[in-house]
Chains A and B, each alone.
Chain A
Amino acid sequence: GEALMRHDEL
Protein backbone atom coordinates (compact mmCIF):
# COMPACT_ATOMS: atom_id res chain seq x y z
CA GLY A 1 0.00 0.00 0.00
CA GLU A 2 0.97 3.62 0.47
CA ALA A 3 3.29 2.92 3.41
CA LEU A 4 5.23 0.47 1.27
CA MET A 5 5.61 3.11 -1.45
CA ARG A 6 7.07 5.49 1.11
CA HIS A 7 9.40 2.93 2.59
CA ASP A 8 10.69 2.08 -0.87
CA GLU A 9 12.37 5.49 -0.98
CA LEU A 10 15.68 6.00 0.76
Chain B
Amino acid sequence: MNVFRLAGDLSHLLAIIILLLKIWKTRSCAGISGRSQILFALVYTTRYLDLFTNFISLYNSVMKVFFISTSCATIYLMYVKFKATYDHNHDTFRIGFLLIPVTILGLLINHDFTPLEVLWTFSIYLESVAILPQLFMVSKTGDAETITSHYLFCLGLYRALYIFNWIYRYYFEGFYDLIAIVAGVVQTVLYCDFFYLYVTRVIKGKALKLPA
Protein backbone atom coordinates (compact mmCIF):
# COMPACT_ATOMS: atom_id res chain seq x y z
CA MET B 1 0.00 0.00 0.00
CA ASN B 2 1.43 3.36 -1.02
CA VAL B 3 0.05 6.88 -0.77
CA PHE B 4 -1.23 6.92 -4.39
CA ARG B 5 -3.08 3.67 -3.95
CA LEU B 6 -4.65 4.83 -0.67
CA ALA B 7 -5.61 8.21 -2.17
CA GLY B 8 -7.10 6.39 -5.17
CA ASP B 9 -9.18 4.10 -2.98
CA LEU B 10 -10.38 7.02 -0.87
CA SER B 11 -11.31 8.96 -4.00
CA HIS B 12 -13.27 5.94 -5.23
CA LEU B 13 -14.99 5.63 -1.87
CA LEU B 14 -15.82 9.35 -1.84
CA ALA B 15 -17.29 9.14 -5.37
CA ILE B 16 -19.73 6.44 -4.31
CA ILE B 17 -20.68 8.25 -1.10
CA ILE B 18 -21.31 11.48 -3.08
CA LEU B 19 -23.54 9.60 -5.53
CA LEU B 20 -25.57 7.88 -2.82
CA LEU B 21 -25.92 11.14 -0.85
CA LYS B 22 -27.05 13.00 -3.96
CA ILE B 23 -29.75 10.42 -4.68
CA TRP B 24 -30.82 10.16 -1.04
CA LYS B 25 -30.86 13.88 -0.17
CA THR B 26 -32.55 15.06 -3.36
CA ARG B 27 -34.79 11.95 -3.48
CA SER B 28 -33.89 11.84 -7.16
CA CYS B 29 -31.53 10.09 -9.54
CA ALA B 30 -32.02 12.63 -12.34
CA GLY B 31 -28.94 12.97 -14.51
CA ILE B 32 -27.49 9.62 -13.44
CA SER B 33 -27.09 6.87 -16.03
CA GLY B 34 -28.65 3.65 -14.78
CA ARG B 35 -26.81 1.83 -17.53
CA SER B 36 -23.42 2.93 -16.21
CA GLN B 37 -24.51 1.91 -12.72
CA ILE B 38 -25.49 -1.56 -13.95
CA LEU B 39 -22.09 -1.88 -15.63
CA PHE B 40 -20.32 -0.85 -12.41
CA ALA B 41 -22.30 -3.41 -10.40
CA LEU B 42 -21.22 -6.01 -12.95
CA VAL B 43 -17.60 -4.81 -12.63
CA TYR B 44 -17.55 -5.23 -8.85
CA THR B 45 -19.39 -8.54 -8.71
CA THR B 46 -17.19 -10.17 -11.36
CA ARG B 47 -13.92 -8.79 -9.95
CA TYR B 48 -14.47 -9.43 -6.27
CA LEU B 49 -15.41 -13.10 -6.52
CA ASP B 50 -11.95 -13.65 -5.01
CA LEU B 51 -13.55 -12.65 -1.70
CA PHE B 52 -14.56 -16.30 -1.52
CA THR B 53 -11.27 -17.81 -2.65
CA ASN B 54 -8.50 -15.93 -0.86
CA PHE B 55 -8.24 -13.57 2.07
CA ILE B 56 -5.81 -10.68 1.53
CA SER B 57 -6.50 -8.23 4.34
CA LEU B 58 -9.38 -6.86 6.37
CA TYR B 59 -9.04 -3.55 4.49
CA ASN B 60 -9.25 -5.39 1.17
CA SER B 61 -12.31 -7.45 2.12
CA VAL B 62 -14.18 -4.53 3.70
CA MET B 63 -13.62 -2.34 0.62
CA LYS B 64 -14.71 -5.09 -1.76
CA VAL B 65 -17.89 -5.76 0.21
CA PHE B 66 -18.53 -2.00 0.31
CA PHE B 67 -18.20 -1.62 -3.48
CA ILE B 68 -20.44 -4.59 -4.23
CA SER B 69 -23.14 -3.61 -1.74
CA THR B 70 -23.23 0.11 -2.60
CA SER B 71 -23.44 -0.61 -6.32
CA CYS B 72 -26.41 -2.90 -5.68
CA ALA B 73 -27.95 -0.24 -3.42
CA THR B 74 -27.55 2.39 -6.16
CA ILE B 75 -29.36 0.17 -8.63
CA TYR B 76 -32.14 -0.43 -6.12
CA LEU B 77 -32.52 3.33 -5.55
CA MET B 78 -32.58 4.05 -9.28
CA TYR B 79 -34.80 1.25 -10.52
CA VAL B 80 -37.10 0.74 -7.53
CA LYS B 81 -37.26 3.44 -4.88
CA PHE B 82 -36.78 6.56 -7.01
CA LYS B 83 -37.75 4.99 -10.33
CA ALA B 84 -40.03 7.94 -11.20
CA THR B 85 -37.05 10.32 -11.20
CA TYR B 86 -34.87 8.14 -13.44
CA ASP B 87 -34.18 10.00 -16.66
CA HIS B 88 -34.37 6.99 -18.99
CA ASN B 89 -35.15 9.06 -22.09
CA HIS B 90 -31.62 10.41 -22.04
CA ASP B 91 -30.01 7.14 -20.96
CA THR B 92 -29.89 5.46 -24.34
CA PHE B 93 -26.31 4.23 -24.77
CA ARG B 94 -26.35 0.65 -26.08
CA ILE B 95 -24.37 -1.30 -23.48
CA GLY B 96 -24.13 -4.32 -25.79
CA PHE B 97 -21.59 -2.29 -27.77
CA LEU B 98 -19.41 -2.39 -24.67
CA LEU B 99 -20.27 -5.79 -23.20
CA ILE B 100 -19.69 -7.85 -26.34
CA PRO B 101 -16.18 -6.58 -27.22
CA VAL B 102 -15.15 -6.58 -23.56
CA THR B 103 -16.27 -10.21 -23.17
CA ILE B 104 -14.37 -11.27 -26.28
CA LEU B 105 -11.26 -9.38 -25.15
CA GLY B 106 -11.49 -10.94 -21.68
CA LEU B 107 -11.63 -14.41 -23.21
CA LEU B 108 -8.69 -13.71 -25.53
CA ILE B 109 -6.29 -11.61 -23.48
CA ASN B 110 -6.06 -12.72 -19.84
CA HIS B 111 -3.51 -13.99 -17.34
CA ASP B 112 -4.96 -17.45 -17.02
CA PHE B 113 -7.84 -19.19 -18.78
CA THR B 114 -9.75 -20.01 -15.59
CA PRO B 115 -13.26 -18.72 -14.71
CA LEU B 116 -12.00 -16.46 -11.92
CA GLU B 117 -9.16 -14.94 -13.98
CA VAL B 118 -11.30 -14.45 -17.10
CA LEU B 119 -13.96 -12.70 -14.99
CA TRP B 120 -11.27 -10.58 -13.31
CA THR B 121 -9.94 -9.52 -16.71
CA PHE B 122 -13.46 -8.92 -18.06
CA SER B 123 -14.06 -6.70 -15.05
CA ILE B 124 -10.89 -4.67 -15.63
CA TYR B 125 -11.79 -4.11 -19.30
CA LEU B 126 -15.42 -3.34 -18.52
CA GLU B 127 -14.51 -0.82 -15.84
CA SER B 128 -12.41 1.13 -18.32
CA VAL B 129 -15.49 1.87 -20.46
CA ALA B 130 -18.34 1.61 -17.92
CA ILE B 131 -18.60 5.38 -17.57
CA LEU B 132 -19.39 5.90 -21.27
CA PRO B 133 -23.22 5.73 -20.88
CA GLN B 134 -22.93 8.39 -18.16
CA LEU B 135 -20.67 10.66 -20.23
CA PHE B 136 -22.96 10.10 -23.23
CA MET B 137 -25.93 11.16 -21.08
CA VAL B 138 -24.14 14.34 -19.94
CA SER B 139 -23.24 15.21 -23.52
CA LYS B 140 -26.81 14.52 -24.67
CA THR B 141 -28.44 16.75 -22.07
CA GLY B 142 -25.58 19.28 -22.32
CA ASP B 143 -25.16 19.69 -18.57
CA ALA B 144 -24.75 17.98 -15.22
CA GLU B 145 -25.69 18.98 -11.71
CA THR B 146 -22.70 20.20 -9.70
CA ILE B 147 -22.99 17.25 -7.31
CA THR B 148 -22.97 14.84 -10.27
CA SER B 149 -19.84 16.49 -11.60
CA HIS B 150 -18.13 16.07 -8.20
CA TYR B 151 -19.06 12.38 -8.36
CA LEU B 152 -17.61 12.04 -11.86
CA PHE B 153 -14.45 13.90 -10.89
CA CYS B 154 -13.74 11.63 -7.89
CA LEU B 155 -14.51 8.53 -9.94
CA GLY B 156 -12.13 9.63 -12.71
CA LEU B 157 -9.45 10.74 -10.28
CA TYR B 158 -9.41 7.30 -8.62
CA ARG B 159 -8.01 5.50 -11.67
CA ALA B 160 -5.64 8.37 -12.47
CA LEU B 161 -4.19 7.95 -8.94
CA TYR B 162 -3.91 4.21 -9.56
CA ILE B 163 -1.64 4.98 -12.53
CA PHE B 164 0.76 6.71 -10.13
CA ASN B 165 0.42 3.69 -7.84
CA TRP B 166 1.42 1.42 -10.73
CA ILE B 167 4.43 3.61 -11.56
CA TYR B 168 5.44 3.48 -7.89
CA ARG B 169 5.01 -0.31 -7.72
CA TYR B 170 7.01 -0.77 -10.91
CA TYR B 171 9.96 1.18 -9.50
CA PHE B 172 9.86 0.07 -5.87
CA GLU B 173 8.37 -3.42 -6.01
CA GLY B 174 9.26 -4.48 -9.53
CA PHE B 175 5.59 -5.31 -10.05
CA TYR B 176 3.44 -4.36 -12.98
CA ASP B 177 0.27 -5.70 -14.56
CA LEU B 178 -0.05 -4.74 -18.21
CA ILE B 179 -3.79 -5.53 -18.44
CA ALA B 180 -4.63 -3.24 -15.53
CA ILE B 181 -2.25 -0.51 -16.72
CA VAL B 182 -3.53 -0.35 -20.32
CA ALA B 183 -7.18 -0.47 -19.20
CA GLY B 184 -6.50 2.10 -16.47
CA VAL B 185 -4.89 4.50 -18.93
CA VAL B 186 -7.83 4.10 -21.36
CA GLN B 187 -10.24 4.70 -18.48
CA THR B 188 -8.42 7.88 -17.40
CA VAL B 189 -8.17 9.19 -20.96
CA LEU B 190 -11.96 8.89 -21.34
CA TYR B 191 -12.35 11.35 -18.47
CA CYS B 192 -9.91 13.95 -19.83
CA ASP B 193 -12.52 16.04 -21.59
CA PHE B 194 -14.66 16.00 -18.46
CA PHE B 195 -11.66 16.89 -16.24
CA TYR B 196 -11.01 19.94 -18.41
CA LEU B 197 -14.62 21.14 -18.08
CA TYR B 198 -14.63 20.38 -14.35
CA VAL B 199 -11.50 22.43 -13.68
CA THR B 200 -12.45 25.33 -15.94
CA ARG B 201 -16.10 25.58 -14.86
CA VAL B 202 -17.14 23.72 -11.71
CA ILE B 203 -14.10 24.75 -9.62
CA LYS B 204 -14.87 28.38 -10.50
CA GLY B 205 -18.39 27.94 -9.16
CA LYS B 206 -20.17 27.70 -12.48
CA ALA B 207 -22.52 24.93 -13.54
CA LEU B 208 -21.18 22.25 -15.83
CA LYS B 209 -22.66 23.25 -19.16
CA LEU B 210 -21.17 21.89 -22.31
CA PRO B 211 -20.21 24.36 -25.02
CA ALA B 212 -22.85 24.32 -27.77
Contacts and interface: CB of A to CB of B under 8 A. Distances in A.
Interface residues of chain A: helix, strand, loop or mixed (majority)? helix
Interface residues of B, number: 21
Is the contact region of chain B dominated by helix, strand, or loop, or is it mixed?
A: helix
Interface stretch (B23-31, B60-68, B130-138, B144-152): B60-68
A8 to B, nearest CB: 5
User: What range describes how many residues of A lie at the interface?
Assistant: under 10
B101 to A, nearest CB: 22
Contacts of B112: 3
B162 A9 contact: yes
Most chain B beta-carbon contacts within 10 A, residue among A3, A4, A7, A8? A7
B56 A10 contact: no
B193 interface: no
Contacts of B7: none
13 contacts: A3-B111, A3-B112, A5-B175, A6-B120, A7-B50, A7-B54, A7-B56, A8-B56, A8-B57, A8-B60, A9-B165, A10-B12, A10-B63
Interface of B: 5, 9, 12, 50, 54, 56-57, 60, 63-64, 67, 111-112, 117, 120, 162, 165, 173, 175, 177, 180
Interface of A: 2-10
